[in-house]
Amino acid sequence: MNKRYYYLITIICVVFLVVLGFLRFRQEEEVTSEQFLMDTLVSIRVTGDEQEKLQEAVQKAFGEMKRIEELTDRFQAAGSSSCTSEICRVNSAAGKQAQVVDSDVFTMLVLAKEYADLSGGAFDITIGPLLDLWGFGKAEQKVPSAEDIKKALALVDYRELVLDDTDNSVLLKKTGMSLDLGGIAKGYAAGKALQVLQEHGVKSALLNAGGNISVWGQKADKKPWMIGIQDPRDPGEVIGALTLNNESAVTSGDYNRYFIYKGRRYHHIISPFTGYPADKNMSVTVVASDPGIADILSTTLFVLDYTKGLQIVEKLEGVDALFVTADRKIVISSGLKEKFTIKQGKDYTYEESGLVSSN
Ligand code: AMP
Ligand code: MG
């Protein structure tokens, strides 16, 4: 009797362990969804335990991105005669009155000023008048006269953006000044979306906002995340691959929004130093743990010569960059040596940063 009892207990234990093992190693659930947001196709792929929870997490993450888009779009909605966004409201009150804004908008403006200072003004969200002049953000673009560029340049200066953190109020000092958050909003929104996904307990997340990639957690196959870096002059091709680990890779390039006039390419990233599209690079990819910072820095470094860009990046902890320069050099910062694999046979020269990282 005692022996039979012993066998029974053993069988129950074995069954229990098998069921436990099955539950533990069962296939993870996966959800993938896409939405057109912030002028681009955004896709989110997550894994976790429950399909329903994943669906809810993804929808909330998209909702958060939509909220940031609506707060930051500087243009009035079609058919509307008044501002619907916070940025539009600040721009309309330029030279007149400070406006109290949402805390996320205020945070973006503080960050933008910080990196404007850090880059000596290469990143400048008061770039609005120049973008309007060139027609970026509008249906038609044109090459403006040198005189008009000079006039618009006089209205571009981040130091004339006054931020008061006692009440989150914002003032553009001169009439005619305008903010444009195109170089920061998408990355900041991606950061908010990732936060929502993590709060909902997803096990891993891959967020692709028009080629700007954020990864979080571990893939089901436990392999590292790998992404391709687009060849700026050959859309179907890559120049190499990057491995990412709980990081974002954000690229600014001259190949997405541009027009050709008299054989020259004019694109949407304007140098606040000259008023013309920045001409030092074809693309700059920044890798950082925060997609908002990666977004700001990719636009910033795109404006700068890579030697200056590297000086900035090597001083920042946990930030790296890959430059594809106008004269067809691929240059990487020191932290990417182990992470970047170049594609052989491409018509680029290759250089690694000689600077020592303070990371
Ligand atoms: P990204 O694709 O992130 O590099 O952002 C490019 C967008 O940033 C442009 O479409 C403009 O909306 C805005 N922008 C252009 N030039 C600058 C600049 N020098 N500083 C900050 N934002 C800029
Ligand atoms: Mg950017």
Extents of the domains making up the chain: 75-172, 224-358
Q: Is residue 20's pLDDT more than 70? A: no
Ligand nearest to the CA of 303: 1
Average pLDDT, the chain: 93
Whole-number pLDDT of residue 75: 86
H or E stretch covering 246: none
> What is the β-pairing status of strands 329-332 and 349-352?
parallel
Ligand 1 near 270 CB (within 6 A): yes
**Closest-lying ligand to the alpha carbon of 291?**
2
pLDDT at residue 250 greater than cutoff 80: yes
The CATH code for residues 75-172 is 1.10.3980.10
Q: What is the pLDDT of residue 355?
A: 67
pLDDT computed for residue 345 by the predictor: 87
The pTM assigned to this predicted structure is 0.92
Q: How many angstroms separate the alpha carbon of residue 261 from the centre of ligand 1?
A: 20
Mean per-residue pLDDT for 131-147?
Answer: 94
Kindly report, residue by residue over 2-13, the tens digit of the pLDDT: 677 777 777 765
87 Cβ inside 6 Å of ligand 1: no
- Determine if ligand 1 sits within 6 Å of the CB of residue 109: no
Integer Cα distance of 220 and 233 in angstroms: 34
Asked if pLDDT for residue 37 goes beyond 90, the answer is yes
Lowest mean pLDDT among 87-101, 115-129, 254-268: 254-268
State the pLDDT at residue 44: 98
Q: Which residue of 141, 299, 300 sits with most ligand 1 atoms within 8 Å of its CB, as the best mutation to test the pocket?
A: 299
Q: Is any atom of ligand 1 closer than 6 Å to the C-beta of 124?
A: yes
Q: Quick one: pLDDT band at residue 298, thresholds 50, 70, 90? A: very high
123: Cβ below 6 Å to ligand 1?
yes
Query: Exposed e or buried b for every residue in 19-53, given b needs 16+ CB within 10 A?
Result: eeeeeeeeeebebeeebebbeeebebbbbbeeeeb
- Of the bound ligands, which one is closest to the alpha carbon of residue 180? 1
C-alpha 79/C-alpha 71 separation (Å) is 18
Q: Can you give the pLDDT at residue 139?
A: 87
Q: Compute the distance from residue 184 Cα to the ligand 1 centre, in Å.
A: 8
- CA quadruple 310, 316, 322, 328: dihedral, nearest 10: -10
* Atom number in ligand 1 closest to CA 302: 4
> How far is the C-alpha of 120 from the C-alpha of 158, rounded, in Å?
10
- pLDDT reported for residue 353: 83
For residue 213 and ligand 1, the question of a CB distance below 6 A is answered with: no
Tell which wins on pLDDT, 286 or 218.
Answer: 286
Query: What's the confidence (pLDDT) of residue 7?
Result: 74
The rounded percent of the chain whose pLDDT value lies above 70 is 92
CATH architecture of 224-358: Roll (3.10)
Tens-digit pLDDT profile for residues 61-100: 999 999 999 999 998 776 777 888 999 999 999 999 999 9
Q: What is the mean pLDDT of residues 179-201?
A: 97
- Residue 83's pLDDT is 83
Residue 18: band (very low, low, confident or very high) from pLDDT cuts 50, 70, 90: low
Is the pLDDT confidence value at 247 over 90? yes
Question: pLDDT at position 8, please?
Answer: 72
Q: Where are the beta strands (DSSP E) in 268-339?
A: 281-288, 320-325, 329-332
For residue 89, the one-letter residue type is: R
